[in-house]
Amino acid sequence: MEETPGGAVAEDVRRRILSMLSSGALRPGNRLGTEREMADKFGVSRATLRSALLPLSEAGVLERRTGRRGGTFVRADVVQRNAAELTGLPALLQSGGHTSSTKVLATDRRPATAAESAALEIPDTAEVFVIRRLRYADGVPLSVDMSCFITDQVSDLLEQPLGGSLYELLRVRYGLVPATSNETIEVVSASPREAQWLDIAHRRPLLAITRVARDAAGRPFEYAYDLFRADRVRLTATMTVHPERERRAGDGMVERIVSA
């Protein structure tokens, strides 16, 4: 059945939803429910409800998601992030007019993996601190971040407050400031655990960003693997193309090197 904006009853439902948004009763990322749940809540038919929601969806206020975790949601703003970003996520979100918060999921001290030791240029036997955090923008899950640091450089890192900007903590306490950042960006599918953390369906696309940050002397001090919700982030890059900056990797994928 074709959806239409509806009449007076549909308009009343729209006004009630907009009032809930303006009062803060509904916030970006909140789930309004299924059609049946919302029709019961507002005391209207499902056809009237669809008519009420149509203009709000077309205006980008609401979005409908299918699947087991689907329903109608208040649309959350997209976060714009530069490739090879040197700014910590809290500062980036603040500059874009977003609120930010962080939940520490786990911390660990362990031997570096082969990939970590190669990226951080440390012996295979060296230890790293690993911090995994869930990051929110406007109260909605944005990314799951895993950062590895060399224990010899930040000996008491896990004793520090880890809910804010790690880059600010590294600068103030350890004198570590990122001068360059090399990132590899791929699209992956959310695992069941990642989907639960990010409040999305299993196998939804994620932007996976592997990052190595170096100080002014060229020494690496962070190896990170960040998973961003693909529906919540937009990557931008400014680059000058040189022939040598595009190459074919060993797995057959074309790599384009971007300097930010």
Would you place residue 159 in the very low, low, confident or very high pLDDT band (cuts 50, 70, 90)? very high
Q: How far is CA 178 from CA 157, 215, 251, in A?
A: 17, 5, 30
Distance CA 61, CA 74 (A): 6
- Between CA 74 and CA 78, with CA 75 as vertex, the angle to 5 degrees is 155
CA 155 to chain centre: 28
Closest C-alpha to 212, from 120, 121, 129: 120
Q: Which among 130, 162, 158, 159 has a CA at the least distance from the CA of 146? A: 130
Residue 5 region, left (φ>0) first, then alpha (ψ -120 to 50), else beta?
A: alpha
Average pLDDT in the 32-57 region?
89
What is the pTM assigned to this prediction? 0.69
Q: Is the dihedral of CA 119, 123, 125, 129 positive or negative?
A: negative
Listed range (90-99, 122-131, 187-196, 249-258) with the worst mean pLDDT:
249-258
Q: Which residue has the higher pLDDT, 240 or 60?
A: 60
pLDDT tens track for 181-236: 999 999 999 999 999 999 888 888 999 999 999 999 999 999 999 999 988 887 77
Cα 67 from Cα 73, distance rounded (Å): 13
Domains along the sequence of the chain with CATH: 5-74 (1.10.10.10), 79-236 (3.40.1410.10)
Task: Map residue 255 onto helix, strand or coil.
Answer: strand
